[in-house]
Each structure stands twice: as structure tokens, then as C-alpha cells.
Amino acid sequence: MAQQPLLRDVIDIKESISTSDFVLSLAEATTPEGTRHALKDYVVTERLQENFDEALALIKASLDGHRSKAAYLHGSFGSGKSHFMAVLYALLSGDPAARARTEFDPVLTKHEWLSTDGKKFLLVPYHMLGAKALEQRVLGGYVHHVKKLHPDEPTPQVYRTDSLFADIRA
């Protein structure tokens, strides 16, 4: 009678782990190497397919209506928020490895506009950790990202509404 394999022979079990082993930095995950890492072990469940469908539908509605739309992604620590955003980033940027995952076929088929409209997205990765204000992080993150992509171009002009209205009053 054949001996059953031991669990340690079938599954790679680390001898020690820390919470940081499960944290994905979204800024790192948007690099080619980071994207590969984020996709490597990503499990796309039916619920996640629905979540990607909802996210892409919101983006499409925003594009069709020529209006900004906001969304809030929430969940407890370690629930996969950063992984979700990293994979969404990969899908929107046309990453071949993300698009090749057959689990996304139903979502990508439904949202064929990602492939056929010839749209390119300026995807600005940033997180809110350490931000003093939403405005600071969103506009500052945008300026930082555009300067990184186009260092020889003029700095994008973004305005703080409080100081803009103060200037108007003056």
C-alpha cells in the first residue's frame, strides 16, 4: 500500500510569518514586477468577478457621462483591498498577464470597451496613509505621478479651493 505524502511535502509551509508578509503595497504592485507578484497567487472568486464587473461598470458610466464618479473600497486589514486595486490597475492598463487569466473572461467579454475603444487611462496610484487631507493626497499624488511620467513638462496646475475662494474674495 502506497504511503500518503506528508502535508509539508505537498504545501510550502513557512516556519515563521508576520503580518507584513500579507501586505501588498499598491505603489509597488503597479510596477511590472509588482503586478506579476500580485497576479501570481490571486484567486478570482465569483464574488470578485462581480466586484470587478461593478468597478468597470462604474468607470464606464463615468466615461460615458463625462463626469467623475467616486467609489469607496472598504474592508478589514488583510481582506484584499490592495490586491483588488492592483489587479484592477493591471486590467485597466491592459497588462497581458492579467488579461490572460481565464477567470476574467466573463468580465472582460462584458466590458469589451476596454479593448475596443482604444482608451488609455492615466492611472494614478497612491494611498491615504499619512495624508493630512484628501485634497492633499489626491491632487498631490496626481502632480507627483505626472511629474514622474513627464519630468521635462511643466508641473500640472491644481488649485486648492479654499485659497482659490480667498483669492476671489480679495
Q: Residues 53-112: pLDDT tens digits?
A: 999 999 999 999 999 888 888 888 878 888 898 899 999 988 999 999 999 999 999 998
Q: How far apart are CA 143 and CA 146, in angstroms?
A: 5
pLDDT at 118 over 90: no
73 Cβ contact list (under 8 Å, min separation 6): 81, 84, 85
Provide the grid cell at 65.
Answer: 457621462
Q: Residue 89 class from Cβ within 10 Å (0-12 exposed, 13-18 middle, 19+ buried)?
A: buried
Cβ atoms of residues 133 and 148 within 8 Å = no
Q: Can you say whether the dihedral through the CA atoms of 89, 92, 96, 97 is positive or negative?
A: positive
Q: Residues 14-62: pLDDT tens digits?
A: 776 665 555 666 667 777 788 888 888 889 999 999 999 999 999 999 9
Model pTM score? 0.73
Q: Which of 138, 136, 131, 91 is nearest to 115 (CA)?
A: 91
Q: Where are the domains of the chain?
A: 7-120, 126-170
